[in-house]
Amino acid sequence: MRIITKYLIRELMGPFLFGFLAFSGMFIGWSLVNVIQWAESYSVPLLTVLRLWAYNVPENLAYGVYIGMLLATLLGLGRMTSHSETIAMQAGGVSFMQIAAPVLIIGALLTVGTFYLNESLTPMAKRAYREERTFIRQGKPKGIIDEYFSAERLKGGKKRLIYAEQYNATEEKFINVTIQEMEHGQLVRTLKSKELLWGESGWYFREGEIFNYREEAVIPVRVTEGYNPSGFEKTPEQVVRLSKQPEEMDWWELKWYLENTELSTRKRRQYEVQLHLKMAFPFACLVFALLGTPLALQSQRRTSSAGLGITLLNVIFYYVLMAVGTFLGQSGITSPWVGAWLQNLIIGGYGLYLFVRKAFNI
């Protein structure tokens, strides 16, 4: 690694760590305040409060990464520019791209790292947080899912709706379950049972009632004790996966959910925007590296407070665009991916414009 590259990375690391720790700490501290305010209503023990707080840490760490990236670029490179170091480098034959390359590489690495954090630790922590709060409020053990509902899309225009008062993930058992099968919008079969159990051959019930609908006639069948297949095809792992909230799923789980679940148009658009946001949000690190590099290498002198102010303005603008894009995508005005990527397209496009101008002295 060249000496100049090492020097650039060292100059960037200080402001990055400052920004990362400062802003992540701010978000983490705010989450602690929220947890304490909620816990006061239920007299929650201190250890449980700390555990709930810890569940919020992975998500809040991700917020600090991209802010730290922009701050590192504006303060690190900006300080070098104000001291004429980058000007001296370029006078000595170091090109703009050689100066910018370490910044873009760090931005790309942080993008990958943030994506991994959001896809591994954050979904598990969010689910654990929700289950812990449910246990505190209602006293129900973890693994119990109330009011379970799922809609399966089958081949040939068929659809299966599953509703259960409760699902016990530990025992792999549905309680008071109703399964309705529809064909081209018409109800053709209803199954009701007190229990739906998982066995070697799939989901079965011991006793229950089956109603077959033929034109205007209803044919009821009473099923007594025995092994009776239900037709429900999801595995216990998939049942639990379908019970998760979108923010508790990783990218692959949410994609699978959209492909295997019947949803209203509004819900589908909402979840599709969330799917694309899971990919778009980590790219903020690379977008801010692309934007910050030409801004920091401008010849005018800039104080650290000015760099911090520019960082905050860009972060606020980024969130405003993300809120607008989310609304446009969920309302159907734009496609879901355009809505999710709007902030990256606008800020990244402007950053690319400045980057190209600086690189080619336009």
Q: What is the C-alpha separation between 227 and 207, in angstroms, rounded?
A: 8
Residue 260 belongs to some domain of the structure: no
Q: What share of the chain in percent tops pLDDT 90?
A: 17
Pair (192, 134) in one structural domain: no
Q: What is the C-alpha separation between 239 and 127, in angstroms, rounded?
A: 15
Cβ(33)–Cβ(127) under 8 Å?
Answer: no
More confident residue, 72 or 140: 72
Cβ(53)–Cβ(29) under 8 Å?
Answer: no
Distances in Å between the alpha carbon of 54 and those of 4, 22, 167, 246?
39, 17, 27, 20
Which residue carries 């989450």 as its tokens? 31
**Among candidate residues 127, 128, 133, 102, the one with its CA nearest the CA of residue 10:** 102
pLDDT digits (tens, 9 = 90+) for 33-87: 998 988 888 888 889 899 999 999 988 888 888 888 888 888 877 777 777 777 7
pLDDT digits (tens, 9 = 90+) for 1-37: 477 778 888 888 888 888 889 888 888 999 999 989 8
Which range marks the domain in which residue 61 is found? 3-138+272-359
Cβ-count burial 65-99 (b if 16+ within 10 Å, e if not)? bbbbbbbbbbbbbbbbbbeebbeebeeeebebeeb
**Mean pLDDT across 345-360:** 89
Give me the pLDDT at residue 305, please: 64
Distances in Å between the alpha carbon of 338 and those of 150, 281, 325?
28, 13, 7
Cβ(24)–Cβ(114) under 8 Å?
Answer: no
**Mean pLDDT across 82-99:** 77
Residue 124 belongs to some domain of the structure: yes
Pair (125, 211) in one structural domain: no
More confident residue, 302 or 326: 326
Which three-class secondary structure state does DSSP give residue 332? coil
Cβ(68)–Cβ(19) under 8 Å?
Answer: yes
Cβ(311)–Cβ(19) under 8 Å?
Answer: yes
Domain count, the chain: 2
Q: What is the C-alpha separation between 307 and 218, in angstroms, rounded?
A: 73
Pair (97, 159) in one structural domain: no
pLDDT reading at 346 higher than 90: yes
Cβ-defined contacts of 168-173 (< 8 Å, 24+): 168/143, 168/144, 169/143, 169/144, 169/145, 169/236, 169/239, 169/240, 170/141, 170/143, 172/197, 172/198, 172/236, 173/197, 173/198
Residue at a domain's end among 243, 262, 294: 243
Residue 250 belongs to some domain of the structure: no
Pair (122, 192) in one structural domain: no
Pair (276, 130) in one structural domain: yes
Q: What is the C-alpha separation between 179 and 160, in angstroms, rounded?
A: 7
Q: What is the C-alpha separation between 88 and 94, in angstroms, rounded?
A: 9
Average model confidence (pLDDT) for the chain? Answer: 83
Q: What is the C-alpha separation between 68 and 321, in angstroms, rounded?
A: 19
Pair (186, 217) in one structural domain: yes
Residue 74 belongs to some domain of the structure: yes
Chain center to CA of 102: 28
Give me the pLDDT at residue 140, please: 60
pLDDT reading at 206 higher than 80: yes
Pair (53, 73) in one structural domain: yes
Q: How many residues does the chain have?
A: 362
Distances in Å between the alpha carbon of 357 and those of 103, 347, 351, 360?
17, 15, 10, 5
Pair (122, 153) in one structural domain: no
Question: Phi and psi of 202, rounded to 5°?
Answer: 115, -160
Pair (238, 279) in one structural domain: no
Pair (89, 215) in one structural domain: no
Residue at a domain's end among 226, 243, 260: 243
Residue 259 belongs to some domain of the structure: no
pLDDT reading at 141 higher than 70: no
Pair (148, 130) in one structural domain: no
**Among candidate residues 143, 125, 117, the one with its CA nearest the CA of residue 52:** 125
